[in-house]
Amino acid sequence: MEKILEITSVKLSVLESFPPKLKIDAFGTVPTGGWSNPKLIPHIHIQAPPDGIYGFDFIADPPAGAATQVISVIEVSDIWENSPEGVEGVRIHAAKNSQTALVAGAGQPHRQPNRFTLTDSSKGTRIVFFPRALTPLGTSESSTEAQLEYHGLEGQFIFRGDDITQEQTVLGSVVSVVLKPNADAGGLDFALILPPVNLGGEARQDFDTLGIRIRSRGRLINPAGAELSYDVVHLKGVAEDIPVL
C-alpha cells in the first residue's frame, strides 16, 4: 500500500454514541486509475500531541498492472472508535500534502513552537533548531524540512532534512546529528533532548534540557570496554512561535 497523491478535503464529525465516536471522511487524488482498498492509518503517538491534533496517513493499493495515467479521485470514510481524551482534530497526510479538520466546537490549535534556541555559555555551545513546520490550518499544508544549526568547539554546522534524526521517546523528542563521521580515528555525534513545550498562548517559553556529545573509538582501536563515551551538556532553551514570512 502507498500514500495517495494529494488530500483535497477532510471532514470530521462526532457521532451520537456513548462513548462518542469520530467519523473521518477524507477525499483526495491518485496519479492513475485502478487504486483500491483506501484506508486511514493512525500515527503512533508516544505522547499526546500538545495541540490535540492526531495524524493519519491516507493509503491505498495501487493498480497491479498497467493503468491509465490520469489523476483520479479517491475517498475513504472511517470511524475512530477509541479516540483519546482531549482530541481537537485530525491531520490527514498524503504524499504531497496534508490537511487538518477540527472537532466541531474546538478552538484553534494552541500555538506551537517552531524555533528552539539553546545555549551553554560555559562550553560555548549554541543550537538553533527549526522542527518540521506546516502552513496554517484549513489550507493545504506542505511540510518543510527541519533545520539544525550547531555552533561549538567542533565548528559551525548546518543540518537539514535527512541529515537530522528525530525520535519520540519517553524523554521527549531526541534530535541527533553527526558532527564527525565514524572514521578510523573515531566519530562524534550530538543528541539534543527536547521536552514537549506548551506555549500556553504566549509567543515563547523558557526551559532547561540536555545535549549529549557521543564519541566512538573508531575502527583502528578496539580494546575491551565501552565503545561509546558521553559528554552531557546542560542547556538553557527558549521555545518560540515565530511568524512564518
Q: Domain segments of the chain: what residues?
A: 2-102, 115-240
- Mean per-residue pLDDT, 168-193: 88
pLDDT value, residue 227: 82
User: Predicted confidence band at 148 (pLDDT cuts at 50, 70, 90)?
Assistant: very high
- CB of 99 closer than 8 Å to CB of 140: yes
Residue 138 has pLDDT above 60, yes or no: no
| pLDDT, tens only, 50-97 | 888 999 999 999 999 888 889 999 999 999 888 887 788 899 999 999
pLDDT value, residue 143: 45
Residue 137 has pLDDT above 50, yes or no: no
Q: Which residue has the higher pLDDT, 128 or 216?
A: 128
- What is this structure's pTM? 0.53
Q: How far apart are CA 100 and CA 87, in angstroms?
A: 13
pLDDT value, residue 219: 67
Query: Secondary structure of 75-142 in the HEC alphabet?
Result: EEEEEECCCCCCCCEEEEECCCCEEEEECCCCCCCCCCCCEEEEEECCCCEEEEEECCCCCCCCCCEC
What letters, b where the CB count within 10 A reaches 16 and e where it falls short, cover 125-151?
bebbbbbebbeebeeebeebebbbebe
Task: Please give the share of the chain, as a percent, with pLDDT higher than 70.
Answer: 85
**CATH for 115-240, options being 2.40.128, 3.30.160, 3.30.310, 1.20.120:** 2.40.128
